Amino acid sequence: MLAFDAEVLAALFAQINRALWPWQIVFLAAALAAFGLAASGHRQAGRAIGAILAAGWLTCGLIFHLHYFAQLSFTAPAFGALFLAQAALLAWSLGLRGGAAFGLGRGA
């Protein structure tokens, strides 16, 4: 059971959307770039996709959990810390360590 209702959460999302506009366009472009890189089959695509994923995780941890969701939930700092740790692991394992193979479709 949550300590807040759906209306409060919807208001929080509306507040975030207003604060982040027009950054949503950049986030969408990054997601589309990750899909394009996965479809390309390029050897270094895994590193770039890893960097995009790590940046997304970092953004969610910092902006959503630690800044906005912390207003509603005492567990938000713990979730934020976990997101930051996961961002570091993604950056290390997919970006710095050598990447991974990503692909789209059958046999990918």
Q: How many Å apart are CA 45 and CA 34, to the nearest integer?
A: 8
14 pLDDT band, cuts 50/70/90, is very high
Rounded to two decimals, what is the model's pTM?
0.84
Q: Which of 59, 60, 54, 42 is nearest to 86 (CA)?
A: 54
| Tokens encoding 104 | 């789209």
pLDDT at 7: 93
Q: Are 15 and 68 in contact (CB under 8 A)?
A: yes
pLDDT of 108 strictly over 60: no
How much is the mean pLDDT over the chain? 90
Indicate the domain borders of the chain. Answer: 17-96
* DSSP states along 39-91: HHT-TTHHHHHHHHHHHHHHHIIIIIIIIIGGGT-TTHHHHHHHHHHHHHHHI
Among 17-26, 33-42, 70-79, 81-90, the range scoring the smallest mean pLDDT is 33-42
Residue bearing the bigger pLDDT, 98 or 18: 18
Q: Are 55 and 95 in contact (CB under 8 A)?
A: no
Kindly report, residue by residue over 56-86, the tens digit of the pLDDT.
Answer: 999 999 999 999 999 999 999 999 999 999 9
